[in-house]
């Protein structure tokens, strides 16, 4: 009986392959460099879009709360005493979370202007988060 020998696989053209299939170190380094370049270009844009989304969320939350304060004042003839009054009276389902501080209790109540017609302590609301928008405006001034 003749001994069987193992042969290497043939390529589709029928020739013997003397090389192992796979990637060389240089090819892997080139691919990793391309991926790193793409990440370096995309990452700043991604983080800028996250910052813009947080700012838009803050603006929307402030707009909704200010509208609820105005509705409360129009319906009851006085401003609410606190943001909790808006929730308890069902003008808001719950207090929104400040997207920059990550807390629901960081909103700053602003007293209404003393016009003598409406009483109450909450005439406006602002963010209690520290910092500025990319445009340079304080979050508390939005």
The answer to the question of residue 5 being in a domain is no
| Structural domains of the chain, count | 1
CA torsion through residues 129, 132, 138, 142, sign: negative
Cα dist from 132 to 72, 78, 140, whole Å: 30, 33, 8
Q: Is 62 left (phi over 0), alpha (psi -120 to 50) or beta?
A: alpha
The answer to the question of residue 45 being in a domain is yes
The answer to the question of residue 14 being in a domain is no
Bigger pLDDT: 121 vs 9: 121
Structure tokens at 15: 């020739």
The answer to the question of residue 122 being in a domain is yes
Q: Read off the pLDDT of residues 30-70 as tens digits, 9 standing for 90 and up.
A: 999 999 999 999 999 999 999 899 999 999 999 999 999 99
Report, as an integer, the average pLDDT of 69-78: 90
The answer to the question of residue 3 being in a domain is no
| Model-wide pTM > 0.85 | no
Q: Read off the pLDDT of residues 91-129 as tens digits, 9 standing for 90 and up.
A: 999 999 999 888 999 899 888 777 766 778 888 899 988
The answer to the question of residue 100 being in a domain is yes
């Amino acid at each position: 009986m003749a001994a069987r020998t193992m042969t290497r696989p043939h390529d589709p053209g029928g020739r013997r392959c003397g090389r192992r299939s796979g990637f060389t170190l240089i090819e892997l380094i080139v691919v990793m460099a391309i991926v790193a370049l793409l990440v370096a270009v995309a990452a700043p844009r991604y983080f800028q879009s996250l910052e813009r989304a947080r700012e838009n969320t803050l603006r929307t939350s402030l707009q909704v709360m200010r509208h609820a304060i105005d509705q409360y004042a129009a319906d009851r003839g006085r401003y609410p005493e606190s943001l909790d009054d808006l929730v308890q009276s069902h003008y808001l389902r719950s207090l929104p979370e400040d997207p920059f501080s990550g807390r629901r209790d960081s909103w700053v109540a602003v007293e209404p202007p003393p016009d003598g017609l409406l009483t109450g302590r909450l005439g406006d609301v602002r963010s209690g988060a520290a910092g500025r928008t990319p445009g340079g405006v304080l979050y508390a001034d939005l």
